[in-house]
Amino acid sequence: MVKIVFSLLLIVNCLLGASKSFYQDKYTDSKKEYLQAIMSSNKDKEVESLKKLILYGKKLNMDTFKYEKELNKIDTKIKPAKKVTTESYFKPKPQPKPTKPKITTRPLTSTIQSVTQDENSITLKFNRRINKSFIDYDKFKDKSFFYDQFDIKGYFKDAAPTKLAMKGVNNILIYQYKNDTLRIRFKNRTNLKIIYIITKNAIIIKVLNLANSVKTQKKAKDVKMLPENVFYPSKKTIVIDPGHGGKDAGAVGKGRLYEKNIVLNIGKYLKKELEKNGFKVYLTRSRDKYIKLPNRTKYANRKDADLFISIHANAVPKSKAHRIEGIETFFLSPARSERAKRVAALENKGDMNNMGWSSKNSLLTILNQSKITASNKAAIDIQKNMLYILRETYGKRTIKDAGVREGPFWVLVGAQMPSVLIEVGYITHPRESRRLKTTKYQKLVAKGIANGVTSYFLKN
């Protein structure tokens, strides 16, 4: 019996000793936290540490008066009568319930009265006069679908319940994108040919290539009735000018990679892409032949072209070859940057060398005043679409945007229509030169340019 009592007492002492050791460790840790809180001037942490010191100090039968006094000085919200207990300290504090922010919206006045559709068109009627600034069109694609997106200025109160569908189009989405913008997006596995017509108080969006013979016949009849300012691809002529040729090899890259061959391939691919979209397309050269710069634009003028596109590949000296890269699009104008002048000097060799710099700038100003704006718009759309197509395959980090620039390119001087010069990459850059000689890259560049041309005509 004595042995049993002794054993019980021994067990109790061990438990008390373990408990005391536990609280002693907690007390020591709390003291360290308290000192750290004082050093960092963290009042919240200081209050928390003092509470722990008081709690564990009492468990150890220590005098905690100085900590209680300090706590009352810091935390004025603590009531003197309230005791700090193990249960109250470790009990989780109730979390406040999340409240939904109040959204206050004022009623909007509809500017779009109605949205209706027939077999191959959608008509939006407005309660006011409109112009071309009321519509913003964009075209893009992912791995599976093509998208034609229209952002239309205005509020349509029935956007949510309205449903749009056309036989031959996978999906048409309509929704109020912003308070002042209605969005209509076509999604389709094949590339749709879409035009839009703007009248005094309406916008008509028309799909031209729905796969139905009856609709094709109706479309042919409708063409005669289209207003003059409507974009219809078969009425637009594009002249593509693959730069250099023959005795003029252009820039030369590693492994005898000649600019004249790369740009000729891209020009041929671009011709096919534009013809698929319904344009009339001509090449200034379809083989390795030298053509003087003035004769290139004379050819475009004879064809009464609506757009002249000159295709080139860029180059820099060996000392800069690893650093300089990117695609860029130029339109004709006196150059404002040293880079534009440098690139123009490379492309202008062999023609107009006897003319002084000031004389050339004067000529550029006279010849180009009427088409600077149009050429600039075309350059922006082409650059944007080339970047989109290439970055989709190669990634954003390895496709550098060298921008849209003005430049004194004599090949563009005689053109009587909007004209651009595209530098599709640097033949001297290690990575870009490897890509430039591949069919894959050349076809993607051509696709991007074609999308940009289509976008330009749709907007203008």
Instruction: Return the domain boundaries, the chain.
Output: 20-90, 112-229, 234-459
The one-letter amino acid code at 387 reads L
- What values do phi and psi take at 421, rounded to 5? -125, 125
pLDDT, one tens digit per residue, over 380-429 is 999 999 999 999 999 999 999 999 988 777 667 777 889 999 999 999 99
In 10 A of CB 149, how many CB atoms? 16
Tokens at 427, concatenated: 């033949």
| Residue 85 exposure: Cα atoms within 13 Å on the Cβ side | 6
What percent of the chain clears pLDDT 70, i.e. is strictly above it?
73
pLDDT, one tens digit per residue, over 28-49 is 777 777 777 776 677 788 888 8
How far from the centroid of its chain's Cα atoms is residue 210's Cα?
Answer: 29
Q: In this predicted structure, which of 51-60, 84-93, 227-236 has the lowest mean pLDDT?
A: 84-93
N residues, the chain: 460
Backbone φ/ψ region at 403: left (φ over 0), alpha (ψ -120 to 50), beta: left
CATH 3.30.930.10 describes domain 234-459: no
d(CA 36, CA 183): 57
Per-residue pLDDT for 91 more than 60?
no
d(CA 137, CA 228): 19
Report whether 43 contacts 76 (CB < 8 A): no
Give this prediction's pTM: 0.51
Q: Which residue in 349, 320, 342 sits closest to 260, CA to CA?
A: 349
Tokens at 185, concatenated: 């997006």
pLDDT, one tens digit per residue, over 327-361 is 999 887 654 555 555 555 556 554 444 444 444 44
With H, G, I as helix, E, B as strand and everything else as coil, classify residue 329.
Answer: strand
Q: Name the CATH code of domain 112-229 (choices 3.30.1360, 1.10.10, 1.10.287, 2.60.40).
A: 2.60.40
pLDDT of res. 78? 45
Report whether 265 contacts 222 (CB < 8 A): no
pLDDT of res. 7? 53
Report whether 448 contacts 385 (CB < 8 A): yes
d(CA 404, CA 383): 7
